[in-house]
């Protein structure tokens, strides 16, 4: 029995050392996203396959695909928001009013 206990203790030590090395190797800097692109939420529900879209200040329209973090507010037609996004290439939708984007940040203005 003593040999099994010694092996368990060594396994625990090995696990703790591995965990400590993993934590120390992680970069402490969080990736920050500038949430500074102004847009207006528009309800395109009446158009085939559409829901809410984002209309940029330059008139461009973006279809929302994925969210890094789901917004903690209810979407309303005409609501002003500040966003950060990345285009999702090789994606298609029925709505087809603009590129589909991954929303990295969205806040109400």
pLDDT tens figures, 84-107? 999 999 899 999 999 999 999 999
For residue 19, being part of any structural domain is answered with no
Query: Rounded to whole angstroms, how far apart are CA atoms 85 and 102?
Result: 6
Q: How many domains does the chain have?
A: 1
Beta carbons of 101 and 64 less than 8 angstroms apart = yes
Sign of CA dihedral 64, 65, 69, 74: positive
Buried b (16+ CB within 10 A) or exposed e, 53-73: bbbeeeeebbbbbeeeeebee
Q: pTM for the whole thing?
A: 0.69
Strands 52-56 and 100-108: unpaired
Q: What pLDDT does residue 21 have?
A: 43
Residue 75 domain boundaries? 37-108
Residue 85's CB is within 10 A of a number of other CB atoms, namely 24
For residue 89, being part of any structural domain is answered with yes
For residue 3, being part of any structural domain is answered with no
For residue 22, being part of any structural domain is answered with no
Q: What pLDDT does residue 18 have?
A: 54
For residue 1, being part of any structural domain is answered with no
CATH, residue 98: 2.40.50.500
């Amino acid at each position: 029995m003593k040999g099994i206990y010694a092996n368990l203790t060594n396994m625990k030590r090995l696990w703790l050392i591995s965990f400590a090395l993993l934590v120390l190797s992680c970069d402490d800097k969080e990736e920050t996203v500038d949430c500074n692109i102004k847009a207006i939420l528009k309800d395109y529900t009446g158009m085939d396959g559409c829901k809410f879209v984002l209309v940029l200040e330059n008139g461009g329209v973006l279809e929302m695909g994925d969210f890094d973090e789901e917004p903690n507010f209810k979407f309303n037609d005409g609501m002003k928001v500040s966003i950060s996004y990345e285009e999702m290439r090789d994606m298609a939708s029925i709505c087809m009013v603009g590129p589909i984007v991954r929303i990295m940040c969205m806040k109400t203005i």
